[in-house]
């Protein structure tokens, strides 16, 4: 049984891709830039919002000044529309409640901007379920760099060497995040990326639904 579980957010707990894609496409439309499908945005997200902005911006619009301006535009759009279509994945609220009742300590660690991460978690889940919710913060390298994960583990008083901490995510970024911090990873198959990507990245476990994830965490 894993006593502490760190969850990725987008693509793991919440299906946010339509709101991210719509917000980005509104920015693109305002500039007359090409727009992209939600399926394409599944591969633009995962490394933080500044990287998302860079990926949807045309090459000629990637100067530091333009990227900073576009980031502000995206933040305004997403801040206004982040609850339009977003929803928890099936079974996740119930699973989190069961894990909490079993005494599993849980936290969220996302590359989503810290203020957005806190807002969406509070909107869709009982905040009491999570010991900590952290997103991308200034001065802290984004996932998969280990600094943020290590800081979160220290704040939780969790020791990765104890073998009772698990990271759960939906992409190769999440698998690398776990491994860089000395943790095993359970890849979820309902998110933004593929089973093959998670396998190739070396995920120790794969879960096709909430029930399978529960078995991994509780050791059933």
C-alpha distances in Å from residue 112, one per residue of 3, 31, 45, 200, 206: 25, 24, 9, 24, 23
Cα–Cα distance measured from residue 155 to residue 200, given in angstroms and rounded to the nearest whole number = 31
3-state secondary structure of 185: strand
Task: Dig out the tokens for 193 from the structure.
Answer: 């990326």
8 is catalytic: yes
Residues, the chain, total? 220
The DSSP-derived string for 29-59 is: HHHT-----HHHHTTT-SS-HHHHHHHHS-G
Q: From the candidates 8, 10, 19, 170, give the one annotated as an active-site residue.
A: 8
Which of 129, 126, 123 lies closest to 106, judged by CA?
129
CB-CB neighbours of 75 under 10 Å: 17
Cα–Cα distance measured from residue 169 to residue 188, given in angstroms and rounded to the nearest whole number = 6
**6 phi/psi in degrees, rounded to 5:** -100, 130
3-state secondary structure of 5: strand
Q: Is the peptide bond before 33 cis (omega within 30 degrees of 0)?
A: no
Residues acting as catalytic residues = 8
């Amino acid at each position: 049984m894993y006593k502490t579980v760190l969850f990725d957010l987008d693509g793991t707990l919440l299906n946010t891709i339509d709101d991210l894609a719509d917000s980005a496409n509104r920015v693109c439309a305002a500039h007359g830039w090409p727009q992209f499908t939600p399926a394409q945005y599944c591969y633009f997200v995962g490394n933080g919002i500044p990287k998302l902005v860079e990926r949807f911006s045309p090459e000629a619009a990637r100067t530091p000044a333009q990227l900073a301006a576009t980031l502000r535009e995206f933040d305004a759009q997403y801040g206004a529309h982040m609850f339009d279509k977003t929803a928890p994945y099936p079974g996740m609220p119930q699973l989190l409640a069961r894990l909490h009742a079993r005494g599993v300590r849980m936290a969220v660690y996302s590359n989503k901007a810290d203020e957005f991460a806190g807002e969406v978690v509070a909107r869709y889940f009982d905040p009491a379920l999570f010991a900590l919710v952290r997103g991308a913060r200034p001065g802290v390298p984004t996932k998969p760099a280990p600094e943020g994960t290590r800081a979160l583990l220290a704040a939780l008083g969790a020791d990765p060497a104890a073998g009772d901490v698990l990271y759960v995510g939906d992409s190769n970024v999440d698998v690398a995040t776990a491994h860089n911090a000395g943790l095993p990873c359970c890849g979820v198959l309902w998110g933004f990326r593929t089973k093959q990507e998670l396998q190739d990245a070396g995920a120790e476990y794969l879960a096709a639904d909430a029930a399978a994830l529960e078995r991994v965490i509780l050791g059933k």
